[in-house]
Amino acid sequence: MRPQEYLAVADAAVRDNGVHVTRAVERSGDKLSVPKTAAGRRFVDLTPDVYDMVRHYADHHSTENDHDLVFPTSTGSWQMPDNWRKRGFSAACFEAGLIIKDNVEGKMVEKPKYVPYHLRHFYASVLIANRKDLKTIQTLMGHEDIKTTLNVYGHLLKRVPGETERTGGILAGLGTN
């Protein structure tokens, strides 16, 4: 899921061992709306452990709110993506020791080694490594056009030895799961 999608997850959308992605925080952060494309409105399976953690959080730790949010702010509104990235995700990276030192305007500063989209790309790379087919990956990533999936993740695909030039070999490395 995209960060703006999981910040807008409704409690009612966490069911059937997954999340029904039906809304997102707009880029400006000032309102909730639907994902920008029809393909973005999808179902994402969660592992049993992750599903249980999200349900437990929603049932025992989520602040009462008028938006049915699983992860609201303490005042019951949705989180602003930039604030969440800086205060939540970056803080978790620092806590886990996932930091790098970088020269910023002549000063060495520590900053998170990862950004939230790295989680999304890691998930896609695991799907590819597990030989999921491109259409499944396209659906799970919420891409409207298969070209987007290929443009973003095509470098992770490998040719299968002996694959004919007829298919170019690019699809063969994914299997048909």
Distance separating alpha carbons of residues 149 and 154, to the nearest angstrom: 7
Same domain, 89 and 123: no
Same domain, 130 and 106: no
Same domain, 34 and 88: yes
Angstrom CA distances, 33 to 14, 40, 41, 73, 125, stand at: 18, 12, 11, 18, 28
Give the confidence band of 177 by pLDDT, cuts at 50, 70, 90.
Answer: very low
Q: Which H or E run contains 60?
A: helix 48-60
Distance separating alpha carbons of residues 134 and 68, to the nearest angstrom: 33
pLDDT at 27: 84
Contact between 7 and 81 under an 8 Å Cβ cutoff? The reply is yes
**In the numeric block, which tokens belong to residue 41?**
């409105």
Higher-pLDDT residue of 20, 177: 20
Angstrom CA distances, 142 to 8, 22, 63, 76, 105, stand at: 16, 11, 28, 27, 38
- Whole domain around residue 137: which residue ranges? 116-174
pTM as predicted: 0.77
Same domain, 167 and 87: no
Sign of CA dihedral 145, 162, 121, 51: positive
Domain end position, chosen among 91, 112, 133: 112
Same domain, 106 and 136: no
Residue 170 scores a pLDDT above 90: no
Distance separating alpha carbons of residues 74 and 88, to the nearest angstrom: 13
pLDDT at 175: 40
3-state class of 16 per DSSP? coil
What is the separation, in whole angstroms, between the first and last Cα of the chain?
21
Distance separating alpha carbons of residues 27 and 31, to the nearest angstrom: 9
Same domain, 68 and 89: yes
Q: Which H or E run contains 1?
A: none
Residue 174 scores a pLDDT above 80: no
